[in-house]
Amino acid sequence: MSIDVEPLRKILELEHKKGYADSAVIGGLDRFLCNWAGQAIESITNPQLLNRFHKLHLVNPNYASLTKQQRKELVKGVLDLLTEVEHREGEKGEAKLTPVASRPPPGTRVQRVVNQSIDSPITVIRGISSSLATKFNKLGVKTVRNLLYFFPHRHLDYSQRKFISQLAEGEEETIIANVWQAQEIRLGGRRSTEAIVGDETGNVRVVWFNNPYLAKKLLTNTRVVISGRVSLFNGRYVFESPEWELVEDRELIHTGRLVPLYPLTQGLRPRQVRKLMKEVIDRWAWQVEDFLPLELKERCNLLELPQAISQAHYPENEAVKAQARVRLAFDELFLLQLGVLSKKRDWQESQPGSHFSAKTSVLEAFVKSLPFALTTAQQRVLKELLADLQKPQPMCRLLQGEVGSGKTVVATVALLMAAANGYQGALMAPTEILAEQHFATICQLLSRVGHQEEGEDYLYSYSGLLPHPLTVALLIGDINQVRKQELQQRILDGDIDIVIGTHALIQKGVEFHRLGLAVVDEQHRFGVTQRSALRQKGFSPHVLVMTATPIPRTLALTLYGDLDLSVIDQLPPGRQVIKTKWLKPGQRDSAYAFIHRQAASGRQSFIICPLVEESETIQARAAVAEYERLSQEVFPELRLGLLHGRMPTVEKDKVMRRFRSGELDILVSTPVVEVGIDVPNATVMLVDSADRFGLSQLHQFRGRVGRGEEQSYCMLLAQNPSEVARQRLDIIDKIQDGFELAEEDLKLRGPGEFFGTRQSGLPDLRMAKLSDVALLELARSEALRLFEKDKTLEAPEHSLLAKELARVWQQSDAEWS
């Protein structure tokens, strides 16, 4: 493929005539030059020309920000290059930019170009063999696009050149020097290279351990750049195994600049990756289509995408690097916002929801019958919910509230409203134990206001509340098949008003007659994608998602931007402060002694087993062993029970019931069984290997106790706490408030770990930090603004954006399923 130089020449001449005002082409010269360069580079193979070409920096010319004088020089540089090209080509009778050096037959070249896109596998890149590709695959890099987005985790600042006389011990320094002499030597028995290099201010010794081959490359009088830490040896400065690079006619990539450090895997060497990345960026970055609308970019002052990508790898300086990061982070947050907003749009607009009527008298009767008065926060949230439920669009609401803040009661009112309107309601919990507990709680509350008909373990009816008997069913995995089928049939017939179960309710073949409201407990195990599963079943029910994990507002807006937010920020009166202490390994016995004393005065305790990383089976086995150790060696005279994820539900249920009714003194449990269990007489929570849990999770454990009148305690045993774990334990020691803890957790761990973005079915965030509230808010407001104008992204100027959005979200959807 050859490139016609004429159009570019004309443009540049026009630019010259217009006084370098960047007005020769619409949209500015940057984009034009970048595009042109991208095409041209394909056909230049003459090394000299290539060098000159690279030095012009056309892939990322930054023309807009140059001074008039600099623009003039750049234009002149390009025009000179064009002349040179024509001159050379003229000799061959062609006025085109075709390479002088040998090249493959035209046919193959063209074909290669046609077949390549930035979504091609990385093996299309010259120099990437399939074995190299395998190594990159291990790092999650499969396509050229992945490679362009394979950003360094940091940069070394070798940008400040020093003279040898200015070197300081212990500093990272960069010098440019002449090689006086280089030779192979033995250092510590290993073949190494030693060189003496000098500049006009002095000489310095440089050694490279274990690398004798360098001696041959560093010929006397070669100019080299050396970047690395300066140490002192026998009273003299020396560079030990620094980065080095010959001063040639091309850009520096290992030294003398901000040098990228890439994540590596076995068999990938830093210099190799840097060199490769530089080539890939020069060759491909310009091909990335910038999907942000121009007007948005200008308003938010964002870099062009190709420029941002290349600057994120090989930044000219810290300032541009920061700008590049902002652009790329903005993209992530913006696409995430657009994604959640479009899910909300699909949710609310695809099918009309069922709007309920108020049914005030029924609901009031229920609330009046409660053994307590609702807190102000509960009342406020209830109002928000009931208002949503009376609207024609399906509700999407996230209800946050501490453990024990009384979310279940509020949800029950909403379920009752659905039933009173002739719809079905479903309540889904992450585990069967929790589903059973919800079932028990709700039945108990209903029995205060309705007359409980004769029922079975999984099914109760209440008369006197609605015109028809209100039927509540528990549908979980291990009830017998016949009963299960019967229940499912009755759900399908619309015979059952409220169904309580696990998330399997929506995942496996349960068909509803008229599902009007779905309540989902514990959001962090229930992603956006699962919500969509409901709709795919043909329902657009109102959805209420409940979580006891306090989510910092920024995170909530990002991850759950599709949900409206309600917060119960108040605990029922009389809740006590739980005394929290973290203990050192040596204090294990005193913890056990404390549990003994509590048991002697009739109190119960939880013991959370050490966390075993591997499978649930291994976790279960470890729990059994720990349970046996505790029952035989530590608490032989007490009654212990065991809970782990591998037990059949009936067994779990039995143990839970025995603990709740006081037949057991101690409940030993795996961390899996963390959520929601309510036992007022339990006063001690002992968490083993507490240093392995996050703050929010520890807070969840702590929430298991303190449900009754008695002073309660949370003891955190740390085996071998790292610095971070120690900080965490200190914080939980001091802070009781879940939201405050969540903010801290986010700071300490970052959002991925805090909340598993993967788990939630959302695209990964690499550049964006959720602590960057300002950028997050900008991304959100821009997404909302765009949505107001063009909700379906149908406008032509949004077509690239729509494509990118689909690409990013499709990937994360696929990862989820």
Q: Choose between 227 and 549: whose C-beta lies nearer to ligand ADP.
A: 549
CB 158 within 8 A of CB 259: yes
Q: Of these, 37, 252, 409, 664, which contacts ligand ADP (CB under 6 A)?
A: 409
Q: Choose between 369 and 631: whose C-beta lies nearer to ligand ADP.
A: 369
Q: Which of 37, 34, 14, 10 is nearest to 24 (CA)?
A: 14
- 180 touches, from Mg ion, ligand ADP, none (C-beta below 5 to 8 Å by class): none
Does residue 407 touch ligand ADP according to CB under 6 A?
A: yes
Residue 355 gets which letter from DSSP?
P
Q: Choose between 37 and 544: whose C-beta lies nearer to Mg ion.
A: 544
- 406 touches, from Mg ion, ligand ADP, none (C-beta below 5 to 8 Å by class): ligand ADP
User: Which H or E run contains 33?
Assistant: helix 29-43
- 678 touches, from ligand ADP, Mg ion, none (C-beta below 5 to 8 Å by class): ligand ADP
- 401 touches, from Mg ion, ligand ADP, none (C-beta below 5 to 8 Å by class): ligand ADP
CA 150 to CA 277: how far, in whole Å?
A: 9
CA 666 to CA 663: how far, in whole Å?
A: 9
Residues from 335 through 394 that contact ligand ADP (CB under 6 A):
372, 374-375, 378
Collapse the DSSP code of 198 into the 3-class scheme (helix H, G, I; strand E, B; otherwise coil) and give the result: strand
CB 474 within 8 A of CB 459: yes
Q: Of these, 38, 99, 353, 401, which contacts ligand ADP (CB under 6 A)?
A: 401
CA 317 to CA 217: how far, in whole Å?
A: 30
Q: Choose between 17 and 448: whose C-beta lies nearer to ligand ADP.
A: 448
- Read off the amino acid at residue 390: Q
Q: Choose between 184 and 678: whose C-beta lies nearer to ligand ADP.
A: 678
Q: How far is CA 384 from CA 381, 543, 719, in A?
A: 5, 13, 45
763, β-bridge pairs: none
Give the shortest CB-630-to-ligand ADP separation in angstroms.
Answer: 28
- Read off the amino acid at residue 587: Q
Q: Choose between 450 and 721: whose C-beta lies nearer to ligand ADP.
A: 450
Contact segment (CB under 6 A) with ligand ADP among 28-36, 124-132, 402-410, 460-468 equals 402-410
Q: Choose between 406 and 450: whose C-beta lies nearer to ligand ADP.
A: 406
CA 603 to CA 681: how far, in whole Å?
A: 6
Residue at token pair 């969509």: 532
Q: Choose between 327 and 438: whose C-beta lies nearer to Mg ion.
A: 438
Q: Of these, 550, 676, 703, 721, which contacts Mg ion (CB under 5 A)?
A: 676
Q: Choose between 192 and 408: whose C-beta lies nearer to ligand ADP.
A: 408
Contact segment (CB under 6 A) with ligand ADP among 141-149, 310-318, 359-367, 407-415 equals 407-415
CB 85 within 8 A of CB 45: no
CB 606 within 8 A of CB 684: yes
CA 569 to CA 375: how far, in whole Å?
A: 10
Collapse the DSSP code of 439 into the 3-class scheme (helix H, G, I; strand E, B; otherwise coil) and give the result: helix
Does residue 449 touch ligand ADP according to CB under 6 A?
A: no
Give the shortest CB-402-to-ligand ADP separation in angstroms.
Answer: 7
Count helices and strands (H / E) in the chain: 28, 24
User: Helix/strand/coil (H, E, C) string of 268-313?
Assistant: CCHHHHHHHHHHHHHHHHHHCCCCCCHHHHHHHCCCCHHHHHHHHH
Give the shortest CB-676-to-Mg ion separation in angstroms.
Answer: 5
65, β-bridge pairs: none
User: What residue is closest to Mg ion based on CB?
Assistant: 676
Give the shortest CB-369-to-Mg ion separation in angstroms.
Answer: 20
- 715 touches, from Mg ion, ligand ADP, none (C-beta below 5 to 8 Å by class): none
Give the shortest CB-445-to-ligand ADP separation in angstroms.
Answer: 8
Give the shortest CB-472-to-Mg ion separation in angstroms.
Answer: 17
**Contact code string over 520-549 relative to ligand ADP, x by CB under 6 A:** ----------------------------x-
Q: Choose between 254 and 407: whose C-beta lies nearer to ligand ADP.
A: 407
Residue 473 gets which letter from DSSP?
E
Please give the distance of CA 528 from its chain centroid, rounded to a whole number: 14
CA 194 to CA 179: how far, in whole Å?
A: 11
Give the shortest CB-415-to-ligand ADP separation in angstroms.
Answer: 13
236, β-bridge pairs: 233
Query: Count residues contacting Mg ion (CB under 5 A)?
Result: 1
**Contact code string over 250-269 relative to Mg ion, x by CB under 5 A:** --------------------
Residues from 670 through 699 that contact ligand ADP (CB under 6 A):
678
The token pair at 396 is 């999407």
CB 59 within 8 A of CB 34: yes
User: What residue is closest to ligand ADP based on CB?
Assistant: 406
Q: Of these, 121, 198, 212, 404, which contacts ligand ADP (CB under 6 A)?
A: 404
569-604: b (≥16 Cβ within 10 Å) or e: bbbbeeeeebebebbeeebbeebbebbbebbeeebb
Query: Count residues contacting ligand ADP (CB under 6 A)?
Result: 15
Give the shortest CB-546-to-Mg ion separation in angstroms.
Answer: 7
- Read off the amino acid at residue 281: I
- Residue 318 neighbours by CB distance under 10 Å: 12
Contact segment (CB under 5 A) with Mg ion among 24-32, 244-252, 669-677, 687-695 equals 669-677
CB 514 within 8 A of CB 505: no
Give the shortest CB-520-to-ligand ADP separation in angstroms.
Answer: 13
Q: Of these, 28, 494, 572, 662, which contacts ligand ADP (CB under 6 A)?
A: 572
Q: Choose between 727 and 736: whose C-beta lies nearer to ligand ADP.
A: 736
Does residue 403 touch ligand ADP according to CB under 6 A?
A: yes
- Backbone φ and ψ for 230, nearest 5 degrees, come out as -90, 125
- Backbone φ and ψ for 363, nearest 5 degrees, come out as -65, -40
- Residue 329 neighbours by CB distance under 10 Å: 20
- 404 touches, from Mg ion, ligand ADP, none (C-beta below 5 to 8 Å by class): ligand ADP
- 43 touches, from ligand ADP, Mg ion, none (C-beta below 5 to 8 Å by class): none
Q: Choose between 676 and 721: whose C-beta lies nearer to Mg ion.
A: 676
- Read off the amino acid at residue 639: R
Q: Which of 492, 484, 508 is nearest to 424 (CA)?
A: 492
CA 506 to CA 519: how far, in whole Å?
A: 11
Q: Choose between 89 and 402: whose C-beta lies nearer to ligand ADP.
A: 402
The token pair at 740 is 């405050």
Q: Choose between 179 and 544: whose C-beta lies nearer to Mg ion.
A: 544
**Contact code string over 585-624 relative to ligand ADP, x by CB under 6 A:** ----------------------------------------
Please classify residue 245 by burial: count the beta carbons closer than 10 Å to its beta carbon, then call 0-12 exposed, 13-18 middle and 19+ buried.
Answer: buried
CA 627 to CA 553: how far, in whole Å?
A: 40
Give the shortest CB-407-to-ligand ADP separation in angstroms.
Answer: 3
Q: Choose between 253 and 545: whose C-beta lies nearer to ligand ADP.
A: 545
Q: Of these, 46, 408, 523, 580, which contacts ligand ADP (CB under 6 A)?
A: 408
Contact segment (CB under 5 A) with Mg ion among 64-72, 157-165, 668-676, 707-715 equals 668-676
Q: Which of 684, 752, 691, 740 is nearest to 718 (CA)?
A: 691
Q: Of these, 260, 293, 353, 406, which contacts ligand ADP (CB under 6 A)?
A: 406
- Residues engaged in binding ligand ADP (CB under 6 A): 372, 374-375, 378, 401, 403-409, 548, 572, 678
- Residues engaged in binding Mg ion (CB under 5 A): 676
